């Protein structure tokens, strides 16, 4: 199967500081890949490189085989991004926000009813979807973010600590949604601190340290405890 997200010798430096040392990574359709690591390990840099928000110093980030640096707009057709806080226009309703971003993504044909249906699938009640976003909780905004990814028909999902600050129930719901999307063939790259959650949903886990991917493993045959042990071992200098 072809990789939807692919990093080839991806490197990012800020002056003398190396944020990312030649990362090689490949995530296939339907796969969930969790990036673990301390703050400043290079997780967010990796995601921003895939988004094209920053330009790589060397190597390339590819989405469905296209280089982000040279195909900035085309690659964005295929991805969706959910940051730690999905920030929306507070004066617009959830539906209006979703409509706006979906139209920007070039999916005009869905229509209001379709959008409401997608929001419902993402777990947002229809009446809530018609209210202004200024009154939304963080969990509700993250659901709109998922809905944006669904409506867009993204083939790859980039998530930057999307569950931090969510309560366990919200976090659990969010994981379910991710799993269902990956079952539909979406490749997911998620930066997170949540070892437990990564094990629950993740097919693969990567541990980053000082801009390098120091470990990469499947989680099916590991227990939570094993995973935490490995993680902490890597955190020791």
Partner 1 sequence: MLWTVARIEIKNLLAETSVWLVAVLLAAAVAYAGWTGSRAVAVDRQAAVSALTEQDSRLKALHARMLRSEAIGQAAQSGDDPADPVVVGRELAAQLAILPLSPLAAVAVGQRDLASASVRITTDGPQGRTSSGETALAGPTRLMTGAFDLAFVFMSLLPLVIIVLTYDLLSSERERGTLALVLAQPVSLATFVLGKALLRGVLLCGVTVVLAALATLPSAPDLMTGDGALHLGLYVAVVVGYALFWFAAAVAINVAGFSSATNALALVGLWLALVVVMPGMVQVAVQVAHPPPSRVELVNLTRAAASEIEAELSALQGEHSAAVQGTADDSALAAAKRIVVAQEALEHRAAPVMIAFATQLAAQQALLDTLRFLSPAIVVHEAMGEVAGSGAHRLQQFASQVDAFQARWRAFFFARVRAHQRLTSADHAALPRFVFREEPRATLGWRVGAGLLGLLVPTLLLVSFAAIVLRRSSRPA
Residues within the interface to partner 1 (CB under 8 A): 48, 51-54, 72-74, 76-77, 79-81, 83, 85-92, 96, 100-101, 103-106, 145, 148, 152, 158
Minimum CB separation from partner 1 for residue 22, in Å? 23
The nearest distance, CB 228 to partner 1, in angstroms, is 31
Q: How far is the CB of 119 from partner 1 (least distance, A)?
A: 16
Tokens of residue 45, six digits: 């840099």
Yes or no: say if 50 and 56 are a contact pair by the CB < 8 Å rule: no
CB of 87 or CB of 126, closer to partner 1: 87
Nearest-approach distance from CB 211 to partner 1, in angstroms: 18
Which of 101, 174 has the CB closer to partner 1?
A: 101
Nearer to partner 1 (CB atom), residue 51 or residue 150: 51
* Helix pair 168-183, 138-152: axis angle to 10 deg: 10
Nearest CB to partner 1, comparing residues 61 and 205: 61
Q: Rounded to the nearest whole angstrom, what is the least distance from the CB of residue 97 to partner 1 in the complex?
A: 9
Sheet holding 17-28, edge to edge: 17-28, 3-14, 58-63, 66-67
Q: Which is nearer to partner 1, 13 or 172 (CB)?
A: 13
* Rounded distance between C-alpha atoms, residue 36 and residue 215, angstroms: 10
CB of 194 to partner 1, least distance (A): 21
CB-wise, 74 or 137, nearer to partner 1? 74
């Amino acid at each position: 199967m072809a990789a939807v997200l692919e990093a080839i010798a991806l490197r990012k430096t800020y002056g003398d500081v190396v944020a990312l040392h030649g990362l090689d990574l490949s995530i296939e359709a339907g796969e969930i890949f969790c990036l673990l690591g301390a703050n400043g390990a290079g997780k967010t840099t990796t995601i921003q490189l895939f988004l094209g928000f920053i330009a790589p110093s060397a190597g390339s980030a590819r989405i469905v085989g296209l280089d982000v640096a040279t195909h900035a707009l085309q690659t964005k057709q295929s991805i969706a991004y959910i940051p730690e806080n999905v920030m929306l226009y507070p004066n617009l309703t959830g539906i209006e926000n979703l409509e706006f971003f979906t139209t920007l993504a070039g999916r005009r044909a869905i229509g209001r009813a379709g959008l409401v249906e997608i929001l419902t699938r993402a777990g947002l009640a229809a009446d809530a979807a018609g209210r202004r976003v200024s009154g939304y909780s963080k969990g509700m905004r993250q659901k709109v973010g998922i809905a944006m990814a669904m409506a867009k028909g993204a083939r790859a999902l980039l998530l930057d600590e999307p569950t931090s600050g969510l309560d366990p129930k919200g976090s659990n719901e969010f994981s379910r949604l991710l799993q269902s999307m990956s079952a539909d063939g979406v490749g997911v790259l998620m930066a997170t601190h949540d070892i437990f959650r990564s094990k629950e949903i993740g097919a693969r886990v990567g541990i980053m340290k000082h801009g390098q991917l120091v470990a990469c493993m499947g989680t099916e045959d590991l227990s939570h405890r094993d995973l935490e042990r490995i993680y902490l071992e890597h955190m020791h200098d």
